[in-house]
Structures are given as structure tokens and as C-alpha cells.
């Protein structure tokens, strides 16, 4: 999308659109097939005409202003002084933004089924992000100026950074040398009290003289390391739970290697979730515990609770689901990848064994936000030779985890593709049919307003599936930042309906909700306290008697394993 190609308004706008459209889709053959060859796919003529008219008018303004044309200063990619002071660079940036706006508008103007529209939009967004002039040394005046100022040192450092990232297999988002698991992340004091080939169970040292009689088990997603819940003391949800007087445990998933490539969804529910619940119950010496599931951990916890209900077992008194998909009707941007062909391919590749490599999964999630999580670091690391700042959350994000192929293939088909878990009796785990309608316990359901992985409407959908006494709370920000929002930071806000109503849709719920400043953690802590039982003296040692002894200090071996 160079200025020579497009910014002259005398160019035929329709031909320009056709040329750029073909280029945008060429990098995504399956999308191009959908958009170009699928019967009935065409553009809304009125929207397309309006786009062309707007394009010609905006291009004429650029032509009239010539080299004096300023870049759109509100776009942080072009907000630096070298962009604004260099007329040619400013014009290049302005031209790019005009073309990007036109192509995005075309994606929105396509007349097709929603699946095709989503795929086309995703393809265009990826191409537009990649084609930004800021991504190329020859077009980036900031990178050029830095090379001059440093007498080429920034370019040499950029090459070093590139070679380093090629060796480690991913783009560095943070200075990973600053962090070490167990040293300055995942530091809450505790011990591993149980382990099998799938997970370790960590128990944390009490911070209060008395604890609630019902122990508390956290189930993080198995597609990530558990310490997103225990980054550093000031933003650790685990430490917060311990400080609230809960005898706290967490599942630390093993990072599977080829020897575990045979593991299935059944294995994870039966040998991990149900086993962890049983062990915590036995260590606590109580008939019931409380449990929390985050993201995929919440989906697995829901399946485990359905298995227990079908077996007429009730060891869990209450559950908390954080940004969790239970009903997979709305899966957000991830839906662009899922169809029968894709799922069959994955089943053929790894359905009978093998691994989904952690870096492949991490790259997929990064490209859901390409400007922020990919190209931003390409520019900083390689063109400018910078070391990204230390950030605990991004260190965790780069600490990828493998997945067993059979688990992954089963999850894709039965959850994302066919949404089978909300159909009573459609799925079974270890021969036990699942019915979410049988999970008749209190549930706290949290969703993040700007979540692009579990849309807020999808988080809310769980309120219409689970039958027990439910409380729904919405927080600001996204999938991770919305969840990891400690009260002491006094950041963001959350929404609550004091009348407790849970109408059919999230929009109806929101119309009666009240926005409150600060973290949702305090509301959740009050709710959990109501289900935690009386206070009893805090235990003096980890585990219980001779059956469950401390194996090693937290954070344990499993979380240290790299993909």
C-alpha cells in the first residue's frame, strides 16, 4: 500500500480497491476462496460506493496538501517526532491509514454468511497490520534516526535481538532475563503435597491464625502456567485468597512432552480435576471444598462438576468461573479458525497422539492482536535495537505450554465446533454422561468487558445454563488484565446488579447494572466467605498426617518445565 500506488485521486478507485483486496487476501488462501469463489458472496453496493467516494475525497485532500500532509498523530505507531517532522514519512503514514480504513470498510461491506465475514475481516486486519510502514526500516524515520544517532549500534543490536529470538523460537515481549519462576514470580510460600503424571497440587502456607474450614482449590487453564494467578505478591490472586483466610490449593499442570502425547480429555478430568478435588477434600478433612476455574480451567471444572453430579457425589460447595466458556455459541475471534475441515485436519494430525506445541498456540493468540503483540515488538526489538521493558505478565505469556494432541482435538470438536457440553447427555467422561443442568450449587461468574478470547456475552451465557444460585459480575479490560486486578491498585471498575437478576441476554443484564470503581476481587471475596464455613485454627504443616506430605517447596518442578 505505497503512496505511489494509491493516493493519487485520479487513479480509478474501484480498480485500486480490487487490487488491494486481492493482495490482502492472497496471504490467506482459504479466506480468499471463501470471499472470491463462494456462491452468493458479494459486496453491498451502496456501502462500496460510499467507501469509494470517501476514499477519493480523502485522497484528494492528501494530494492537495502534498508533502505537508501530517500523519494521524492519534495512532501511536506514527506519533513520534520523526514522523511528524518528515513530510514524506508523514505522507506515507497518512496514505497507509487511508488505505487501511478503506480495506477495513470493504471487509465490513461484504455480503456473506457471518463465518465468511469474520474470516475476511481477520485476514484483512492481519494484512493491514503487516503492511504498516512503521514495520520497515526503509519507511520508518524513527528507526532511521536512531541508527544515525547511535552510529549504527541500534541496527547491530537489532540483528542480535533477531538472532536471539530466532534461537528461542518466539519474539521477545519482555526482558525475560529479569524473571525467574520461584524467585520473583510464583513466590507465594507453599509446598507440593501431591503429584501424578498430569499435575502437581500445591498447598499454600496460611497468612492468618485461623482459616475457613472449607479448603479452596484453584484450577488454572492447562494451556498456560498456573502462576498467572501468582505473578508477584502485589498482584497475586492466590496470595489474596490466602490473606482472606482460605486454606488455598492450586493445580500446577505438567508441561507435557512426547511421552504424555496420548493423554485425553477424560484423563484430565478423571486423573487431574477429580483427583485434585478428592485430595484437597482429604487434606482438609471436610466433606466439601470450594473451587475456582479460570478460562479453560473453568470449562474443565464445569465438566468435572457434571461428572460428580451424575455420580451423586457433591464434594464442591461452590464454584467460581473466571472468563470461562461453558456455552460455546459465541467464541469471538477464535471462531475464524474453526470449521469441519480444520478440525478434521487436527484430528488427523494429533487425534491419536502427539503434541500441540506451546509456541504454536502462543503465536495464534498473539496474532489476535497483531499490532500490540507482534509488530510492536518487531519494530522495537529489530528495527530500533531496543530491549523490551520487564513486565511479569508478558514473561508469563511467553512461557508457553504444550498440549496433548488427543485432548486438543477432542476439545476443538466437542466444544468449539459442535458445542456439545450444553446438550444434556451428548458427552460422556469415563462413561459418565454430562448434564450441566445437574450442577445445582452456588456459582460466581466473572466476565471481562473487552475480552477477545472469551467474549463478555459468552461469559454471561453460563448464567443461562447452570441452574444454581448465581452471581454475575463484569470487570473492565480484557482476558487477563481484567482478572488480575488487585484492589490495592485501585484501577479499572466493575459492574454489578444489586437486584441479582439474570435476564436472557448480557445487554439486558447490563441495562440494570451499576458501575463501581476498583477491583471485583472484594465483591468476590465477600461472596466466597459466605460459602467457606466457620473459622478454625490454621494448620501447622502442609498436607495431612502420613498420606500427603510435602514433596518439595512451591512452585514445584512441573511449572519449571519449558516448552
Task: Report the SS3 class of residue 553.
Answer: strand
Set of cell numbers at residue 82:
520523526
Contact 360, 482 (CB under 8 A): no
Task: Report the SS3 class of residue 403.
Answer: strand
Q: Which residues pair with 289 in a beta bridge?
A: 316
Task: Report the SS3 class of residue 492.
Answer: coil
CB contact burial 105-134 (16+ within 10 A = b; e otherwise): bbbebbebeeebbbbbbbbbbbbbbbbbbb
Set of cell numbers at residue 318:
461452590
State yes or no: is 222 an active-site residue: no
Residues recorded for the chain = 563
Give the position of cell 461452590: 318
Establish whether the linkage from the previous residue to 555 is cis, with ω within 30° of 0: yes
User: Distance (Å, rounded) from C-alpha 197 to C-alpha 498?
Assistant: 44
- Say if strands 355-356 and 289-294 run parallel, antiparallel, or are unpaired: unpaired
Report how far apart the first and last C-alpha atoms of the chain are (Å, whole number): 38
Question: Which of 129, 269, 291, 295 does the annotation list as catalytic?
Answer: 295
Q: How many CA atoms lie within 13 A of 146 on its CB side?
A: 22
Contact 142, 82 (CB under 8 A): yes
Task: State the CB neighbour count (10 A cutoff) for residue 285.
Answer: 12
Contact 411, 207 (CB under 8 A): no
Which ranges constitute the DSSP H helices of 269-317? 274-284, 296-310
Q: Which residues pair with 190 in a beta bridge?
A: 204
Set of cell numbers at residue 257:
512432552
User: Distance (Å, rounded) from C-alpha 453 to C-alpha 207?
Assistant: 34
Identify the CA nearest to 502 among candidates 462, 449, 529, 450: 462
Q: Which residues are catalytic?
A: 295
Amino acid at each position: 500500500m505505497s503512496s505511489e500506488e494509491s493516493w493519487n485521486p485520479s487513479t480509478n478507485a474501484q480498480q485500486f480497491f480490487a487490487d488491494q483486496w486481492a493482495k490482502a487476501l492472497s496471504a490467506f488462501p482459504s479466506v480468499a476462496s471463501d470471499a472470491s469463489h463462494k456462491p452468493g458472496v458479494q459486496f453491498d453496493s451502496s456501502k462500496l460506493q460510499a467507501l469509494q467516494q470517501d476514499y477519493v475525497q480523502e485522497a484528494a485532500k492528501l494530494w492537495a496538501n502534498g508533502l505537508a500532509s501530517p500523519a494521524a498523530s492519534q495512532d501511536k505507531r506514527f506519533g513520534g517526532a520523526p514522523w511528524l517532522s518528515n513530510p514524506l514519512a508523514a505522507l506515507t503514514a497518512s496514505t497507509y491509514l487511508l488505505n487501511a480504513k478503506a480495506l477495513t470498510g470493504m471487509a465490513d461491506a461484504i455480503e456473506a454468511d457471518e463465518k465468511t465475514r469474520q474470516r475476511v475481516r481477520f485476514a484483512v486486519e492481519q494484512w493491514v497490520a503487516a503492511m504498516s510502514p512503521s514495520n520497515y526500516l526503509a519507511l520508518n524515520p524513527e528507526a532511521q534516526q536512531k541508527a544515525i544517532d547511535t552510529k549504527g549500534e541500534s541496527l547491530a543490536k537489532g540483528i542480535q535481538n533477531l538472532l536471539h529470538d530466532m534461537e528461542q523460537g518466539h519474539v521477545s515481549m519482555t526482558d525475560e532475563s529479569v524473571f525467574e519462576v520461584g524467585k520473583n514470580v510464583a513466590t507465594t510460600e507453599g509446598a507440593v503435597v501431591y503429584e501424578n503424571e498430569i499435575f502437581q497440587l500445591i498447598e499454600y502456607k496460611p497468612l492468618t491464625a485461623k482459616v475457613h474450614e472449607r479448603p479452596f482449590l484453584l484450577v488454572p487453564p492447562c494451556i498456560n502456567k498456573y502462576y498467572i494467578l501468582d505473578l508477584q505478591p502485589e498482584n497475586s490472586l492466590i496470595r489474596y485468597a490466602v490473606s482472606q483466610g482460605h486454606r488455598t490449593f492450586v493445580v500446577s499442570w505438567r508441561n507435557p512432552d512426547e511421552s504424555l502425547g496420548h493423554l485425553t480429555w477424560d484423563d484430565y478430568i478423571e486423573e487431574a480435576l477429580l483427583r485434585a478435588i478428592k485430595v484437597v477434600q482429604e487434606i482438609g478433612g471436610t466433606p466439601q471444598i470450594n473451587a475456582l476455574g479460570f478460562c479453560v480451567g473453568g470449562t474443565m471444572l464445569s465438566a468435572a462438576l457434571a461428572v460428580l453430579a451424575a455420580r451423586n457425589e457433591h464434594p464442591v460447595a461452590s464454584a467460581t468461573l473466571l472468563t470461562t466458556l461453558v456455552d460455546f455459541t459465541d467464541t469471538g475471534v477464535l471462531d475464524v479458525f474453526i470449521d469441519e475441515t480444520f478440525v478434521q485436519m487436527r484430528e488427523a494430525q494429533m487425534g491419536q497422539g502427539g503434541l500441540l506445541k506451546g509456541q504454536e498456540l502462543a503465536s495464534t493468540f498473539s496474532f489476535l492482536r497483531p499490532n500490540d503483540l507482534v509488530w510492536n515488538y518487531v519494530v522495537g526489538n529489530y528495527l530500533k535495537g531496543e530491549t523490551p521493558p520487564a513486565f511479569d505478565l508478558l514473561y508469563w505469556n511467553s512461557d508457553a505450554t504444550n498440549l496433548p494432541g488427543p485432548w486438543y482435538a477432542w476439545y476443538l470438536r466437542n466444544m468449539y465446533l459442535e458445542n456439545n457440553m450444553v446438550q444434556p447427555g451428548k458427552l460422556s467422561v469415563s462413561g459418565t454422561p454430562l448434564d450441566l443442568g445437574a450442577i445445582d450449587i452456588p456459582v460466581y461468574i466473572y466476565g471481562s468487558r473487552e475480552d477477545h478470547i472469551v467474549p463478555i456475552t459468552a461469559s454471561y451465557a453460563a448464567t443461562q445454563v447452570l441452574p444454581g444460585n448465581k452471581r454475575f459480575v463484569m470487570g473492565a479490560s480484557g482476558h487477563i488484565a481484567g482478572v488480575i486486578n488487585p484492589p490495592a491498585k485501585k484501577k479499572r471498575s466493575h459492574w454489578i446488579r444489586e437486584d441479582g437478576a439474570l435476564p436472557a441476554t448480557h445487554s439486558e443484564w447490563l441495562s440494570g447494572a451499576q458501575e463501581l470503581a476498583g477491583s471485583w476481587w472484594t465483591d468476590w471475596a465477600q461472596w466466597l466467605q459466605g460459602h467457606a464455613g466457620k473459622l478454625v485454627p490454621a494448620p501447622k504443616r502442609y498436607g495431612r498426617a502420613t498420606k500427603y506430605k510435602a514433596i518439595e517447596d512451591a512452585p514445584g518442578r512441573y511449572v519449571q518445565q519449558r516448552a
